[in-house]
Structure 1
Amino acid sequence: MGRAKIKKKSTFIDMTAMSDVTVLLLTFFMLTSTFVKKEPVQVTTPASVSEIKIPEKDILQILVNPDGKIFMSLDKQADLKATLEGMGQEYGITFSPEQIKKFMVSTTFGVPIKSMKTYLDLPAEKQDAVLKNEGIPCDSVDNQFKSWVRNARLVNSELRIAIKADESTPYSVIKKVMNSLQDLRENRYNLITSLKTTSEN
């Protein structure tokens, strides 16, 4: 008795719908995600149980590395431009349009104001190497940190201040930053921490 031949069915699957969904998801994530700012130094933030999130706009972030060097960043290009111009007027420095343009696209700044023109004239890759070894002066003789905060606040009164410091940064450095903020009557600010896990309790 002969075997009955089973007719093979086509295994073709139309993937058009799947590729459409993939493109839509990719577009969604690209439009809704926020890019992480490039920081000149890596810091390990202390852990805490607080789950309060800092706002995503109108932020003046103060970054303090383990060596006590201070860096700052603003999230709006218009604020960066006006703050630099304010610092220029205060210290008698005129910045060229090209230097202002370069400063506006920088994510983090932190060199003494007298070195700012030379710093902005450097190519981007050299700026990164220079920046990590500098820092904004915050001593009693020349507290440029206070000047930056004051000028940033004059430009945008809605700014929220956030301090991000390494867990091994000496307390004396953090106290100096906080005292400078208090001198400006800036008594409200956020401390950026990482969330403590249950194993750390």
Structure 2
Amino acid sequence: MPRVKVPRKSTAIDMTAMCDVAFLLLTFFIMTSKPRIEDPVPVDTPGAAEEQTLPEKDIAIITVGSGKAFFNMEGAEARKELLVQMGEKYKIGFTPTEAKAFTTVDNVTVPIAQLKQYLAASSEERKQMNPGIPTDSVSNELYNWIHEARVVTKNMYDKELRVSIKGDSKEEYPTMQRIIAILQKQKVNKFSLITTLRGK
């Protein structure tokens, strides 16, 4: 008696749930990721064999490159307050629109006298405006940015501001010495250096 052939059926897997999970993960990573801050000048950071991530708040980053210094502080509300403090110190009134624009700026790259013009410029025009913050003995604006940022952090969060220096590996020693001297003048003897992770 001949055997009855059972027709073969292809297996069907419902991928709807898998697609939902994939899109949920993708959405999560897009919403929680932080965009990379573009440096005002090319900075080739020195290499390091160990990795330690920077905190996301209560931190100020001083970028040093091409003999210039730039300042950045994390936190939108803290930045607004910092701009108000600096405006009072230098007798410059900033509008709410300028304060809002300041919260989106990656780095302070100009002297405070040019800051209003810098905030009114487009993002492309801002890239061309990067003379750096004065650090000389006549007009040491970087000292004031750091000092006021420390005061704002203490008043708002009751924490000490952490300072990190992101310096070019080929930067000349006198420039770095000047930045460290500014920190030591405020008794900030503990700070971190930002490096790039490289193989041992």
Instruction: Tell me the residue number matched to 1:58.
Output: 58
1:150 aligns with 2:177: no
Is structure 2 residue 110 aligned with structure 1 residue 108?
no
- Structure 2 match to 1:121: 120
Counterparts of 1:45 and 1:141 in 2: how far apart (Å)? 29
Matched letter for residue 140 of structure 1: S
CA contact (8 A) 1:160 1:189 kept: yes
Secondary structure of the residue aligned to 1:99 is helix
The CA RMSD measured in Å over matched residues stands at: 2.0
- Residue by residue over 1:42-99, the C-alpha shift from the partner in whole angstroms, topping out at 9 and shown as x without a partner, is 311101234343322211000011x111111111111111111111111111112211
Q: Using the alignment, how far apart are the partners of 2:125 and 2:193 within structure 1? A: 30
Does the aligned pair in 2 maintain the 1:54–1:190 contact within 8 Å?
Answer: no
How far apart in 2 are the matches of 1:196 and 1:16? 41
Tell me the number of residue pairs that the alignment of Structure 1 and Structure 2 aligns.
194
- Per-residue CA shift, 1:24-57, capped at 9, x if unaligned? 3213323443332233223111012343433222
Q: Is there any run of 5+ residues in structure 1 with no aligned partner, and where?
A: none
Shift of the 197–14 alpha-carbon distance from structure 1 to 2, 3 Å rule, reads same
Deviation at 1:109, TM superposition (A): 1.4
Cα distance, 1:8 vs. partner? 4.2
Task: Provide the rounded CA distance (Å) in 2 between the counterparts of 1:13 and 1:52.
Answer: 43
Amino acid at match of 2:94: F
Report the counterpart of residue 181 of structure 1 in structure 2: 183
Matched, 1:138 2:135: yes
The alignment-based identity, stated in percent, is 40
Deviations 1:175-196 (A, max 9, x none): 0000011111111111111223
Letter in 2 for 1:21: V
Give the match for residue 9 of structure 2. 9
1:111·1:135 contact (CA, 8 Å) conserved in 2? yes
Provide the secondary structure at the position in 2 that maps to 1:88: helix
TM norm structure 1: 0.87
What's the offset of the Cα at 1:11?
4.7
Q: What is the TM-score of this pair, normalised by structure 2?
A: 0.88
Aligned counterparts of 2:197 and 2:95: Cα–Cα separation in 1: 43
Seen in structure 2, the aligned counterparts of structure 1 residues 22 and 108 have a Cα distance that, compared at 3 Å, is same
The alignment partner of 1:156 has SS state of helix
- Deviation above 4 Å: which 4+ runs of structure 1? none
State the distance in 2 between where 1:31 and 1:162 align: 26
- Give the match for residue 26 of structure 2: 26
- Cα offset for 1:5? 6.7
* 5+ long unaligned stretches in structure 2: 155-159
Identify if the C-alpha distance between structure 1 residues 167 and 27 changes in structure 2 by more than 3 Å, giving closer, same or farther: same
Partner SS state of residue 129, structure 2: helix
- What CA distance in whole angstroms lies between the structure 2 residues aligned with 1:128 and 1:6? 72
